[in-house]
Amino acid sequence: MGDAYDLDEIYRRHGPAVLRRARQLLGSDADAEEALQDVFASLATRPAQFEGRSAMTTFLHSATTHLCLRRLRDGRRRAELLRAQVGPNGSGGGPATDGERRAILRQLIARMPEELAAPALHHYLDEMTHEEIAEQMGCSRRQVGNLLERAVELCRRQERAS
């Protein structure tokens, strides 16, 4: 994968999927485009990070997810996302829109440790099955179920504490 031509080809083939994934997680076109550039800049400067143990698609999906999770954990970015998607005064008590639910979900996931955030994100945002998540994460379906239970319990504890 060493030369620029290969990276150009990878960017051309996989860039749209990386952008979609980043946009889905970050909720902003500008932030998603920045994440796209960062994922490929990282790959350009450290090509050995792709070890070939998975398909390039799987690697880029995982790299994009991790990059976006790190960004969501930044408290300032969480606040910006909520203001942009929910508004400064919340939803006014009415039923939450899909954008509001996604913003709240992003906020909850951003507060979780990564071991809980990744399966929660795949299950609740990506709507993946336990089996699909297990395959993506390289663990058992039972482990996925346990991690999701822990994530839900963590959210409940945080809700009670606030």
Do 12 and 69 lie in one domain? The reply is yes
pLDDT tens per residue across span 11-32: 999 999 999 999 988 888 999 9
**Whole-prediction pTM value?**
0.58
Q: How many residues does the chain have?
A: 162
Please give the angle made by the CA atoms of 62, 68 and 72, to the nearest 5 degrees: 140
Q: Which residues contact 16 (CB under 8 A, 6 or more apart)?
A: none
pLDDT tens per residue across span 37-81: 999 999 998 988 888 888 899 899 989 998 988 887 765 544 555
Instruction: Report whether 68 contacts 35 (CB < 8 A).
Output: yes
**Of the residues 20, 49, 73, the one at which a domain ends:** 73
Find the domain containing 156 and state its range.
112-162
Do 135 and 95 lie in one domain? The reply is no
